[in-house]
């Protein structure tokens, strides 16, 4: 084996560059690997039977080429792999649920009461750990991040003596006097004021929230005025639904 060196000295078995004052730049021929080291740290490693390339001992490139138009994606633990375009985006956590197809939700109570909307039919869930509990109807953020919420409520047989119908996104709490928590807010939206008796109206609510892990969100409906025993939310087909996306 021959080595070509422009200047400096060699040590038997390795090539040691002495261009730097500290003489700490080394090309090390190890067992089934070649390392380029600076200041005692391996910056580049070529190793294994496939000659995989590792940078800074932090991440390793795949040893084969991907398909056309594929891109590199990291698993966050040092491994890179080829994925289809949008592969990282396709792993975006998305949750889509709705009222069960055989259920229409009707509420009773006093004017101004909050009523939890019972989303019970899971249409799509790419989150791990099923963060939306269809028994309690509470979404618990599985990790810190930015979440997008899109709510669609379809009201049927609304009453003409009601002042206003409202849809709310808020933290799950037993108290009706406060629904705000740190870093979040209670969102409210009305689309008909006053309502028309026996009409069908749809109420849409959209917001983006910066949530911490284990913070909760629940969808509530509230009406002001009226007897609250005639109006209900329609379920099928997809007339009352909730979509949650984790953006970041």
Q: What is the tens place of the pLDDT at every residue in 143-169?
A: 898 999 998 888 887 777 777 787 888
What average pLDDT does range 169-192 have in this prediction?
44
| Per-residue pLDDT tens over the stretch 80-110 | 888 766 544 445 789 999 998 888 898 887 8
What average pLDDT does range 216-242 have in this prediction?
83
| Per-residue pLDDT tens over the stretch 4-58 | 444 555 555 555 545 556 667 777 777 777 877 887 788 888 887 777 888 787 7
Question: Is 80 exceeded by the pLDDT of residue 230?
Answer: no
The Cα–Cα gap between 171 and 173 comes to: 6
Query: How many of the other CB atoms lie within 10 Å of CB of 159?
Result: 21
The Cα–Cα gap between 207 and 73 comes to: 29
Does the structural domain 94-246 have CATH classification 2.60.120.920? no
Give me the helices (H) in 122-218, please.
none
Three-class secondary structure of residue 50 per DSSP: coil
Question: Is 50 exceeded by the pLDDT of residue 176?
Answer: no
Residue 42 β-bridge partners: 37
Backbone phi and psi for residue 87, each to the nearest 5 degrees, phi listed first: -60, -40
Could you state, in order of their start, the residue ranges of all structural domains in the chain? 15-85, 94-246
Compute the mean pLDDT over every residue in the chain, rounded to the nearest whole number.
Answer: 74
Which residue reads 């949008």 in tokens? 86
Question: Is 60 exceeded by the pLDDT of residue 187?
Answer: no
Question: Is 60 exceeded by the pLDDT of residue 179?
Answer: no
Task: Give the global pTM.
Answer: 0.58
């Amino acid at each position: 084996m021959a080595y070509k060196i422009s200047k400096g000295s060699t040590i038997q078995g390795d090539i040691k560059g002495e261009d730097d004052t500290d003489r700490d730049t080394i090309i090390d021929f190890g067992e089934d690997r070649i390392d380029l080291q600076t200041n005692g740290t391996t910056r580049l490693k070529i190793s294994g039977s496939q000659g995989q390339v590792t940078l800074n001992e932090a991440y390793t490139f795949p040893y084969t080429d991907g398909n056309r138009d594929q891109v590199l994606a990291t698993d966050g633990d040092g491994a890179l792999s080829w994925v289809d375009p949008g592969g990282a985006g396709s792993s975006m956590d998305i949750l889509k649920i709705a009222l069960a197809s055989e259920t229409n939700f009707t509420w009773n109570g006093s004017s101004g009461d909050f009523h939890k909307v019972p989303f019970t039919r899971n249409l799509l869930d790419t989150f791990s750990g099923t963060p939306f509990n269809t028994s309690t109807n509470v979404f618990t953020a599985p990790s810190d991040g930015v979440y997008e919420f899109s709510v669609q409520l379809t009201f049927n047989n609304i009453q003409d003596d009601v002042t206003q119908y409202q849809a709310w996104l808020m933290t799950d709490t037993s108290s009706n006097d406060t629904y705000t928590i740190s870093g979040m807010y209670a969102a409210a939206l009305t689309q008909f004021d006053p309502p028309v008796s026996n009409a069908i109206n749809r109420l849409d609510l959209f917001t983006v929230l910066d949530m911490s892990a284990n913070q909760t969100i629940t969808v509530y409906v509230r009406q002001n005025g009226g007897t609250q025993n005639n109006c209900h939310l329609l379920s099928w087909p997809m007339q009352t639904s909730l979509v949650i996306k984790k953006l970041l």
